[in-house]
C-alpha cells in the first residue's frame, strides 16, 4: 500500500513540474502577430465542412475560435478546394495551413505542429467488384482521388497511374452514386459521412487502410516563431475544452467505455491514498527527530521505490517549480536526463505552460491536493503529451514542495476519440442508411428501427417500434417468414438472406431483400434478431421488364436485316450469332458458335483485321467500312462493321453488326472512277471552270485560273470576286447574280474584264447559272469562262488598222497633192538659187525658203508612213548597230543616259533601215521627254520564234523583240489604248504622228508594237521586228555618186500637174537635156511610140505614178516596156497605193524620185539611170 501511495504521489508532483517548466517563453524576441490567416480544406467532415447556409463549421473551426480567444490574436479562417488551398498557401497568401498530412515533399516547404488526429485512409470499391485487398490490386482499375491529396503520391509510388482527380471528397462520393466511378479512396471520416448522407453505404466495401495519415497544422519552412505561437496557443486549450468541442460534433457515447471506468476508479483510489499519505507524512515529520535512523532507511527505501516505479514521479518546489528529484520513469517519459532536470524549473524547460502550472498549483494550495488534472505537457522533442497529473504538498529538505505524479494518457485519449468517432460513424450509418434496419426480440416485437425502415413500412417511427414484425410480412410469405424467424431464434441457422414481400400500413405491398442474423452477447446468449431490409421493388419490376425485353430482343436479334455476331474478347471466339449472320457466312448456327474470328477473314487480310479488333477492344474505334469477310465456302464479301462493348454471362464481349457492302463498293468504285475522269477533264479543260457558295465566294476553281490570272488556286479562292473584276463591270455582274438568285436565270457569253496578277486586264466570256439545293434555296453559282483577250486585242488591232487605213487613204491623197505643190515650190526655189548664184542678195533668202519646203516635205513623209505610199525597201540590217546609232544620235548632249541589254547573238533585221531608224528614234525621243529631270533609258533585245498557235497578230517566223524602257511618270491607263492613234498627243508641241508612224511602219514590215505603263514607274514599248531568214552581213552599195548634175539626151516628162511639168522641162533644159512634157500616161505612150517610129527615141522617161482620172505611170510603163524593153524610165510620186516606189525595178523602172524633189536630186537620179543604161 505504501509503495503504491508513494508512486502516485511522486507522479502527481512530477506533472506539476512539467507545467511550470513549460511556461517559460522560448521565443521572447519574437513579436506576437496581430492576426493569423489560416487556410484549410472545406470538405473534410466532421473537422471542417459547409453548413446548410454555406458557412464553414466543424471541429477545427471551433478549435481555432477558442485559440483566438485564448491568445488574443485575430484568426482569419479560409476554407476552399484542397488543391487551391495548397497552391495559395505556397504563394504566400496564408500564414498557416490546417488539415494537412505530413510527407517527404511537404517537409521541404513546411514546418509542422505535432499531429492532432490520426486518419485511416482505406480504398472503397463497388460491391459488385471482388478481389481488391489493397493498393497492389488496383492495376487495370480507374481510381478516383482528391486533387492535391497526399494519397496521390501513395498511389503513384505503387504504380497506379489511371487516376481521376476530383476537387473534393463530396464530388467523389457523388460520382460514385452516379455510377461514374467504381473504385475510390477517401479519408475514412469524410467517406463515412458522405456515403451515409447520400444513402449509398450499402453499395460499397472498404479495404483495410492503405496507411494512416496524421492531421497537422503547418507554416512556411523556417517560420519557427509563428509555429511556436500556433503550438503554444493550442497548448492553452484544456483537454476538457477539446473534449467539449469533439462531443459537440461527434455526439455522446451511449455507454461509457470499460477502460474509462477503471481509470476513473483508479484515480479515486489514488486520491484517497494521497490524502492518507499526507496525514501520514505530517505524523512522520513530528517523529523525525526521534526516528532519524528509521527515516534515513525509509528515504533510502523511498528512493529505491521511486526509481523502480513505472509511474513518472517528481518532487518540485511549490513556489517556482524547481525540480528537486525525479525518478527514471519521469526522465524517460519526458526525454530529459537527470542533470537537465534537477535545478531547472518546469517553466524554463517548457514542460508546463504558465496557465497549466497554475491549474495544478491552485488546488494544491487551496484544497491541499490536485487530482487527475488533464494537462498537455511538452516533452524535450517538442511533442505534446496528454496526461492526468496529480499533486500533493509536503515539506522536503525543509522546503515547501509538491509531489507530482504524471500518467501518460495520450494513447487512451486517442482510443477514446477513435471510439467516439466509430460510434458517430455507426450512428450516421444507422440514421442515413437507405436500407431499413431493425431489432426484433425473441417474441417478435420490433424494439429498434431506423427512419428508413419506418418510411418503407409507411408507419411513424414511434408506432413501428413495439409492433409485431410478422404483421408486416405479406400473408403469402408469412408462414415461411415465421418458420425462418423461429429457426434463427432457436439457433438452427445463424443468418438468412432472401427476397420477401412486405405489407405497408396502407395495404400496398413492396418487395424487399432481407438480410437477418442472430445478435448474441459474449456468452452466446441470444439477445435479438438484427434485420436489414432493402427495397427491391424497382429491381423486381425491372427484372420483369428485362425478361420481356429479352424476349423482344431475341425476336429482333434473329430477324434483323444485318448480321449480328457476339464475340468473347479474351478468347476471340463467337459466342452468339443471329440468323442473318448465319445466312451471310454460310454456316449453321451451331457451326458458327465457337469459331475464332481468324477463321472468318481471308489470310491475306488477317493481320489488318486483328489490328482492327484490338482497336475496337481498346475503344479507339467503334466502326469500320469495307472489311473483307470470308464465307464458309472460301468466297469473300465486303461489309461495314459497327461494334459495341457489353457484358454477357460475366464475360467482356463485343457485339458487331455486319452489312454486306459489296454492291455499294462496286458502285462507289465506279462513281470514283467517273469522278476521277470528270475531275481530270475539268482540270485539263482549256477553259476556266469555277463554283461559288451562296455568298458568291469562290469555293472551287480548276488549275486553268493559274495561267489565266497568275494566282494559285488556293490564293484565288481566298480573294474577293469584286476585287478582281473591272469596276466598270460591277453593275453588270450584280444584276446577273440578282436575276440568277431571283428567277434562276443563267447567262451566256457575258464579256468581263478580270485583273491579272501583273495588273493587266484579261477579257473573259462568261457563261453559267445558279445552283439550288433540295429545298429550293439558292446555294451558289457554277460557271465556265473562256479567255478571249487575244481575240479582243486582235479585233481592236483590226479596228485600229481599219481606222489607220482610212486615214492613210486620206493622208495619201493629201500628201500627193501637197507634194505636188511642194515640188513646184522646192523645185523652183532650188532652180532659182542655181540661176542667181551665191553672190546674189536673194540667195540666202531662197535657201531659207528651201529649208522651209524641206520641213514641209518631212511632214508629208510622216503622212506617207502610215499611208499606202510608205512601203519599206527591205534589206538585212545589223539590229544592234542600228539601235546603238539611234541611241547615240537621240541622246547626244541630253541628261538621259542610254543603257543596252543585248542578246549576244541578236539576229539581223529584215527592214527598211531608214524607216526602222525613224521608229527607234521616235520612241527614244519620247523616252527622253518623259524624263525631263534625267534618268536612264534601257533597250533590250531577244530572239523569238512565233508559231502559228501563238495569239499574236503577226505571221509565224523569226523576230527580234526590242523593248525600250523609260523611268518617267508613266501613261495613265485610260490614255494607253489611244497613244497610237494619229494626231493624238498630250504634248503641247507634238504633232500626234510620232507613235502613229511607229505603229504604221512596224505593221508595213509585218511586225507589231505594244505598250505598258505604270504611273510613277515608267513605260515600256515592245517591238516585234522581222528577222532575216538566215544570219547575214549588209553588203554596202558602192555605186559612185554622180559628181555633176549636168547631162545630155532626150527626156520625156509625164505629170498631171502643169506647174511640175513646166518646172521639170525648164530644169532639164538648164541641165543640158532636150525635154518635152505631157499630162497623162496615154499621151506618154503615144509620144514614145511616135518618137520610136521616127528613129529619134527618148533616152529617158520621167513618169508620175498617179494621175487622177487618167492612166498613171505604172500602167504606162508596162505598155512602153512591152514595146521598148531597153528604154530607161524613172518613176516619180508623192503617193502610192502599192510597192512600186520601194520595188521600182520589179515594175520595169530604172530609178525613182520622191516628190517633192530638188533639181539636184532629179539631175543625180537621171544621170545615174542614163549612165547605167549606157553600161
How far is residue 223's CA from residue 212's CA, in Å, rounded to a whole number? Answer: 27
* C-alpha torsion 865→866→870→876, nearest 10: 80
**Euclidean distance between CA atoms 1154 and 1134, whole angstroms:** 6
| Boundaries of every domain in the chain | 2-25+254-416, 123-208, 436-541, 560-659, 685-787, 879-1026, 1050-1174
655 DSSP β-pair partners: 566, 644
Query: What is the side-by-side order of every strand in the sheet holding 526-535?
Result: 446-449, 436-440, 526-535, 509-520, 495-503
**Whole-number pLDDT of residue 1161:** 85
Segments in the chain below pLDDT 70 = 1-31, 252-309, 673-685, 797-798, 800-816, 854-855, 857-871, 983, 987-992, 1030-1045, 1135-1139, 1175
The confidence score (pLDDT) of residue 994 equals 78
- Find all residues with CB under 8 Å of 399, minimum gap 6, and list them: 317, 324
Q: Which fold has domain 1050-1174?
A: Rossmann fold (3.40.50)
Pairing type for strands 1074-1078 and 1050-1054 reads parallel
The rounded distance, in Å, linking the Cα atoms of 256 and 272 is 23
The residues, any chain, with a CB within 8 Å of residue 147's CB and separated by 6 or more, are: 81, 82, 83, 165, 166, 167
CATH topology agreement for domains 123-208 and 685-787: no
What is the CATH number that goes with domain 560-659? 3.30.450.20
1017 Cβ partners below 8 Å, 6+ apart? 967, 970
Give the CATH H-level superfamily of domain 685-787. Answer: PAS domain (3.30.450.20)
DSSP state of 1040: P
Question: How far, in Å, CA of 1062 to CA of 1070, rounded?
Answer: 12
Give the residues across from 124 on adjacent strands: 184, 206
SS3 73: coil
Query: Looking up cell 524517460, which residue turns up?
Result: 332
Q: Residue 609: what pLDDT?
A: 85
Burial class for 1058, CB neighbours closer than 10 Å (0-12, 13-18, 19+): exposed
**CA–CA separation, 498 vs 434, rounded Å?**
18
Pairing between β-strand 1128-1133 and β-strand 1100-1104 as defined by DSSP bridges: parallel
Assigned fold of 436-541: Beta-Lactamase (3.30.450)
Tell me, what's the pLDDT at 16? Answer: 33
Q: Which architecture characterizes domain 123-208 according to CATH?
A: 3-Layer(aba) Sandwich (3.40)
Across 409-494, the runs of DSSP E, i.e. the strands, are 436-440, 446-449
Handedness of CA 1133, 1135, 1137, 1139 (dihedral sign): positive
Q: What is the pLDDT of residue 680?
A: 61
pTM above 0.85, yes or no: no
DSSP letter at 473 equals B
The position carrying cell 528509521 is 294
Distance of CA 783 to the CA centre of its chain: 34
Residue showing cell 487556410: 39
Q: How many residues does the chain have?
A: 1175
Parallel, antiparallel, or unpaired: how do β-strands 123-126 and 117-121 relate? unpaired
What does R_g of the chain's alpha carbons equal in angstroms?
A: 63
CA 761 to chain centre: 38
- Residue 815 CB burial class (10 angstroms; 0-12, 13-18, ≥19): buried
Please give the C-alpha separations between residue 263 and each of 260, 269, 270, in angstroms, as whole numbers: 5, 10, 10
2-25+254-416 fold: Beta-Lactamase (3.30.450)
Fold assignment, 879-1026: Heat Shock Protein 90 (3.30.565)
Amino acid at each position: 500500500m505504501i509503495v503504491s501511495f508513494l508512486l502516485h504521489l511522486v507522479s502527481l508532483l512530477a506533472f506539476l513540474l512539467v507545467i511550470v517548466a513549460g511556461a517559460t517563453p522560448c521565443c521572447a524576441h519574437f513579436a506576437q502577430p496581430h492576426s493569423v490567416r489560416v487556410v484549410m480544406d472545406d470538405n473534410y467532415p466532421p473537422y471542417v465542412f459547409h453548413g446548410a447556409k454555406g458557412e464553414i463549421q466543424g471541429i477545427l473551426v471551433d478549435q481555432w475560435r477558442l485559440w483566438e480567444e485564448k491568445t488574443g490574436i485575430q484568426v482569419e479562417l479560409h476554407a476552399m478546394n484542397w488543391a487551391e488551398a495548397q497552391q495559395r498557401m505556397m504563394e504566400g497568401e496564408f500564414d498557416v495551413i490546417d488539415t494537412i498530412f505530413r510527407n517527404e515533399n511537404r517537409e521541404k516547404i513546411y514546418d509542422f505542429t505535432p499531429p492532432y488526429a490520426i486518419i485511416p485512409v482505406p480504398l472503397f470499391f463497388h460491391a459488385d467488384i471482388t478481389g481488391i485487398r489493397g493498393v497492389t490490386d488496383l492495376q487495370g482499375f480507374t481510381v478516383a482521388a482528391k486533387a492535391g491529396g497526399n494519397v496521390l503520391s501513395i498511389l503513384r509510388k505503387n504504380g497506379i497511374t489511371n487516376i481521376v482527380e476530383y476537387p473534393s471528397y463530396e464530388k467523389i462520393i457523388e460520382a460514385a452514386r452516379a455510377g461514374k466511378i467504381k473504385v475510390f479512396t477517401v479519408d475514412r471520416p469524410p467517406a463515412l459521412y458522405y456515403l451515409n448522407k447520400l444513402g449509398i453505404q450499402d453499395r460499397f466495401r472498404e479495404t483495410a487502410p492503405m496507411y494512416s495519415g496524421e492531421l497537422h497544422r503547418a507554416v512556411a519552412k523556417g517560420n519557427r516563431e509563428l509555429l511556436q505561437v500556433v503550438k503554444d496557443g493550442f497548448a492553452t486549450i484544456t483537454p476538457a475544452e477539446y473534449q467539449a468541442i469533439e462531443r459537440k460534433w461527434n455526439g455522446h457515447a451511449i455507454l461509457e467505455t470499460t477502460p474509462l471506468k477503471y481509470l476513473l476508479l483508479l484515480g479515486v483510489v489514488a486520491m484517497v491514498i494521497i490524502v492518507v499519505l499526507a496525514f501520514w507524512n505530517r505524523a512522520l515529520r513530528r517523529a523525525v527527530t526521534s526516528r532519524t535512523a528509521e527515516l534515513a532507511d525509509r528515504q533510502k527505501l523511498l528512493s529505491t521505490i521511486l526509481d523502480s516505479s513505472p509511474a513518472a514521479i517528481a518532487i518540485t518546489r511549490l513556489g517556482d517549480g524547481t525540480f528537486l528529484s525525479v525518478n527514471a520513469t519521469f526522465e524517460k517519459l519526458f526525454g530529459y536526463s537527470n542533470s537537465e532536470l534537477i535545478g531547472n524549473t518546469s517553466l524554463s524547460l517548457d514542460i508546463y505552460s504558465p496557465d497549466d502550472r497554475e491549474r495544478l498549483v491552485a488546488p494544491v494550495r487551496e484544497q491541499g491536493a490536485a487530482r487527475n488534472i488533464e494537462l498537455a505537457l511538452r516533452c524535450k522533442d517538442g511533442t505534446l503529451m496528454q496526461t492526468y497529473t496529480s499533486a500533493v504538498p509536503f515539506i522536503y529538505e525543509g522546503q515547501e514542495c509538491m509531489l507530482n505524479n504524471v500518467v501518460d494518457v495520450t494513447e487512451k485519449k486517442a482510443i477514446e476519440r477513435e471510439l467516439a468517432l466509430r460510434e458517430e460513424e455507426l450512428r450516421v450509418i444507422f440514421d442515413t442508411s437507405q436500407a431499413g434496419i431493425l431489432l426484433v426480440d425473441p417474441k417478435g416485437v420490433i424494439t429498434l428501427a431506423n427512419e428508413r425502415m419506418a418510411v418503407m413500412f409507411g408507419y411513424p417511427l414511434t408506432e413501428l417500434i413495439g409492433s409485431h414484425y410478422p404483421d408486416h410480412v405479406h400473408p403469402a410469405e408469412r408462414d415461411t417468414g415465421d418458420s425462418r424467424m423461429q429457426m434463427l431464434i432457436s439457433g438452427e441457422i445463424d443468418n438468412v438472406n432472401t427476397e420477401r414481400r412486405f405489407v405497408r400500413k396502407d395495404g400496398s405491398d413492396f418487395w424487399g431483400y432481407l438480410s437477418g442474423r442472430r445478435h448474441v452477447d459474449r456468452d452466446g446468449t441470444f439477445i435479438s434478431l438484427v434485420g436489414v431490409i432493402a427495397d427491391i421493388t424497382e429491381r423486381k419490376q425491372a427484372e420483369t421488364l428485362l425478361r420481356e425485353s429479352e424476349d423482344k430482343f431475341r425476336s429482333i436479334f434473329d430477324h434483323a436485316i444485318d448480321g449480328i455476331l457476339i464475340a468473347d474478347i479474351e478468347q476471340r471466339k463467337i459466342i452468339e450469332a443471329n440468323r442473318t449472320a448465319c445466312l451471310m457466312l454460310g454456316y449453321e448456327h451451331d457451326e458458327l458458335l465457337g469459331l475464332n474470328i481468324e477463321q472468318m477473314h481471308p489470310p491475306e487480310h488477317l493481320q489488318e483485321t486483328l489490328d482492327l479488333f484490338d482497336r475496337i477492344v481498346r475503344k479507339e474505334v467503334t466502326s469500320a467500312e469495307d472489311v473483307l469477310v470470308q464465307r464458309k465456302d472460301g468466297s469473300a464479301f465486303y461489309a461495314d462493321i459497327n461494334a459495341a462493348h457489353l457484358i454477357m454471362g460475366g464475360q467482356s464481349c463485343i457485339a458487331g453488326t455486319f452489312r454486306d457492302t459489296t454492291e455499294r463498293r462496286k458502285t462507289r468504285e465506279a462513281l470514283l472512277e467517273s469522278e476521277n475522269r470528270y475531275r481530270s477533264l475539268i482540270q485539263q479543260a482549256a477553259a476556266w471552270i469555277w463554283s461559288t457558295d451562296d455568298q458568291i465566294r469562290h469555293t472551287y476553281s480548276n488549275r486553268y485560273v493559274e495561267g489565266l490570272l497568275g494566282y494559285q488556286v488556293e490564293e484565288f479562292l481566298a480573294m474577293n470576286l469584286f476585287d478582281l473584276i473591272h469596276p466598270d463591270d460591277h453593275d453588270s455582274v450584280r444584276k446577273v447574280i440578282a436575276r440568277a438568285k431571283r428567277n434562276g436565270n443563267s447567262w451566256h457569253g457575258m464579256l468581263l474584264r478580270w485583273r491579272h496578277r501583273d495588273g493587266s486586264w484579261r477579257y473573259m466570256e462568261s457563261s453559267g447559272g445558279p445552283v439550288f439545293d433540295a429545298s429550293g434555296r439558292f446555294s451558289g453559282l457554277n460557271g465556265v469562262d473562256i479567255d478571249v483577250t487575244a481575240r479582243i486585242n486582235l479585233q481592236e488591232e483590226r479596228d485600229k488598222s481599219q481606222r489607220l487605213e482610212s486615214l492613210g487613204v486620206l493622208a495619201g491623197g493629201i500628201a500627193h497633192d501637197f507634194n505636188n505643190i511642194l515640188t513646184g515650190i522646192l523645185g523652183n526655189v532650188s532652180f532659182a538659187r542655181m540661176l542667181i548664184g551665191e553672190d546674189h542678195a536673194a540667195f540666202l533668202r531662197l535657201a531659207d525658203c528651201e529649208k522651209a519646203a524641206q520641213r514641209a516635205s518631212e511632214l508629208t513623209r510622216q503622212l506617207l508612213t502610215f499611208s499606202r505610199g510608205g512601203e519599206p525597201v527591205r534589206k538585212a540590217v545589223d539590229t544592234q548597230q542600228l539601235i546603238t546609232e539611234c541611241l547615240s544620235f537621240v541622246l547626244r548632249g541630253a541628261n538621259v543616259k542610254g543603257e543596252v541589254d543585248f542578246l549576244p547573238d541578236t539576229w539581223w533585221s529584215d527592214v527598211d533601215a531608214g524607216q526602222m531608224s525613224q521608229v527607234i528614234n521616235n520612241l527614244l525621243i519620247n523616252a527622253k521627254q518623259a524624263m525631263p529631270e534625267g534618268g536612264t533609258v534601257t533597250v533590250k533585245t531577244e530572239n523569238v520564234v512565233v508559231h502559228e498557235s501563238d495569239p499574236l497578230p503577226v505571221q509565224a517566223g523569226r523576230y527580234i523583240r526590242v523593248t525600250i524602257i523609260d523611268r518617267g511618270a508613266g501613261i495613265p491607263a485610260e490614255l494607253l489604248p489611244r497613244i497610237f492613234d494619229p494626231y493624238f498627243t498630250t504634248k503641247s508641241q507634238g504633232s500626234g504622228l510620232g507613235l502613229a508612224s511607229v505603229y504604221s511602219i512596224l505593221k508595213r514590215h509585218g511586225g507589231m508594237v505594244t505598250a505598258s505603263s505604270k504611273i510613277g514607274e515608267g513605260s515600256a514599248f515592245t517591238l516585234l521586228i522581222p528577222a532575216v531568214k538566215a544570219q547575214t552581213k549588209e553588203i554596202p552599195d558602192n555605186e559612185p555618186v554622180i559628181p555633176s548634175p549636168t547631162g545630155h539626151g532626150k527626156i520625156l516628162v509625164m505629170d498631171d500637174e502643169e506647174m511640175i511639168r513646166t518646172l521639170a522641162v525648164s530644169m532639164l533644159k538648164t541641165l543640158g537635156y532636150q525635154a518635152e512634157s505631157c499630162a497623162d500616161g496615154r499621151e506618154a505612150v503615144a509620144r514614145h511610140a511616135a518618137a520610136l517610129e521616127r528613129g529619134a527615141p527618148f533616152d529617158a522617161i520621167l513618169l508620175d505614178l498617179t494621175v487622177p482620172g487618167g492612166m498613171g505611170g505604172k500602167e504606162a510603163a508596162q505598155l512602153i516596156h512591152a514595146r521598148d524593153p531597153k528604154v530607161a524610165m524613172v518613176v516619180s510620186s508623192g503617193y502610192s497605193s502599192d510597192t512600186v516606189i520601194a520595188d521600182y525595178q520589179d515594175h520595169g523602172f530604172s530609178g525613182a524620185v520622191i516628190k517633192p524633189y530638188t533639181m539636184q536630186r532629179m539631175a543625180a537620179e537621171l544621170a545615174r539611170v542614163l549612165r547605167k543604161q549606157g553600161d
